[in-house]
Structure 1
Amino acid sequence: MIALRIAHCGVSSGQYGEKEDQMENTDLEGRIERLERRGRAAMIVAIVSASSAILAVGGAAGSRATAEVPAPLAPRPSGVLTVRELNVVDGNGVTRVKIGAPLAHAIVSGQQNRTRGGRPEDTMSGVLLFDAEGVERSGYATVDHGYSNVLLTLDEKNKQHAMFIAEPTGATTLRLFNADTKDRVDVAIDKDGPSISMIHRGKEVFRIPATNRTAR
């Protein structure tokens, strides 16, 4: 009976030992699995943190780089343009505005005059306007030598028909005329006062005030 009991107990102890080993193995595997899960979670957290840090550093560097790049400078206006003559042309290449010092002599009926004044040396400097055919139609200029009038003229295709003159001594005249018919109207003011005169076919027919002035 004692031997049987011992034998029975021995069998029971062996079976219990095997179960205990199985439980220990299961518990160890569980621990390993939990450690692996924790390791994977820690790795994910580390990757996310590293990525965020890289993005933050990159953004800061980009901001600094952007801040350090100077804004493009606005074009600075040129200081002074020094020329003797400047021509402005239209889409057809025709000169429409000329600025010159001195101005070229006038071209009338296809022929260039020797001068804009009474002598070849009587040059003028200023601005000329031309029509679409390149014909001079207006000028605003000063006389370069001698009696330095400043004048504004309005022309037809071949002849001058209006002139506004300011003389260096202060006299001023607005003159409308037709060279073909020798008609002229002057509105003037000088040291003697204002005046209006009319000339028809070369003869003075009206003047206010009536004086002994001769027509200019």
Structure 2
Amino acid sequence: MQEQLLSRISACEAENDRLKRRLHWQNFVLIGVALASVGGTAYANLTKSAAQTVIPSITVRELVVVDDKNVVRARVGGNIPPAIIDGKTLSRGGLNNGVAGIMLYDRTGVERGGYITFDQGDNIALTLDNQKKQQVFFGVGPTGTAALQLWQEDEMLDLRADTNGARLTRSKAGAVTNQYPETFIKSASCEYYRGGIKDEVPAGLSRAEVKNICERRFTASSCEPCLPAEK
């Protein structure tokens, strides 16, 4: 009789231990589920909060965007650095600084164009480049002069509207070959050229440099009276 009682007591204790272990495991699972639920809710709330966050203003001198290979693909800056083409550093329109705006680069890091303003001359321009040089230029001056230029090798097509009138000009190797309508330089523009176009380049340009610019915009017969050869 005593042995039967001890056997029953032992069986009860074993069953009690089994129930305790089962209850402990169930509590562990419930706690895990609760924590996961709380964590998921918190993450969702944080994500929702971050998505709704609006930064009213950011002030920077330069913003550089890179791709997954760490190649610079876009640059927004108040002082854009000179262009680098074929390992050579090139100024922008004869300027070494004072250029602000947005520049774009291809997958190799080569500059392919931008939307920029020039401190000197106060011009604004949209440029598109191939991998070697500029191929499209669309610019507007501070007083309303506008020009659209396209290059192919040594040929250029220039659609321009300025104080001398609106015209379409084709040039080759820097000299006008066709112009419609043929336009002659007005006296105010002539004085501007003779002064070395200092509105655009404060230091001024030489007579030869100015004449080259003139002959890309007008026929040689129109430029000659305005810019006669220096004696």
TM-score interval, smaller chain? 0.5 to 0.7
- Quote how far apart the aligned CAs of 1:119 are: 4.1
For the pair 1:104 / 2:81, whether they are aligned, the reply is: yes
Deviations 1:96-137 (A, max 9, x none): 110011101111111223x323243x4200000000000000
Alpha-carbon distance in 2 for matches of 1:112, 1:188: 29
CA contact (8 A) 1:177 1:185 kept: yes
**TM-score (norm. length: structure 1):** 0.60
* Structure 2 stretches lacking a partner, 5+ long: 1-44, 186-213, 218-231
In terms of Rg, which structure is larger?
A: 1
Write out aligned runs for 1:202-213 (5 A): 202-213=174-185
Alpha-carbon distance in 2 for matches of 1:136, 1:151: 15
Equivalent residue for 1:92, pick from 62, 69, 75: 69
* Structure 1 stretches lacking a partner, 5+ long: 1-70
CA contact (8 A) 1:116 1:123 kept: no
Alpha-carbon distance in 1 for matches of 2:85, 2:98: 16
Write out aligned runs for 1:1-216 (5 A): 74=49, 75-113=52-90, 115-120=91-96, 122-144=97-119, 146-178=120-152, 181-213=153-185, 214=214, 215-216=216-217
Q: Secondary structure at the match of 2:131?
A: coil
CA contact (8 A) 1:171 1:191 kept: yes
Identity within the alignment, %: 34
**TM-score (norm. length: structure 2):** 0.56
Alpha-carbon distance in 1 for matches of 2:173, 2:93: 24
- More contact order relative to length (CA 8 Å, sep ≥ 6): 2
Alpha-carbon distance in 1 for matches of 2:85, 2:136: 16
Amino acid of the structure 2 residue aligned with 1:112: T
Aligned length: 141
Alpha-carbon distance in 2 for matches of 1:206, 1:187: 12
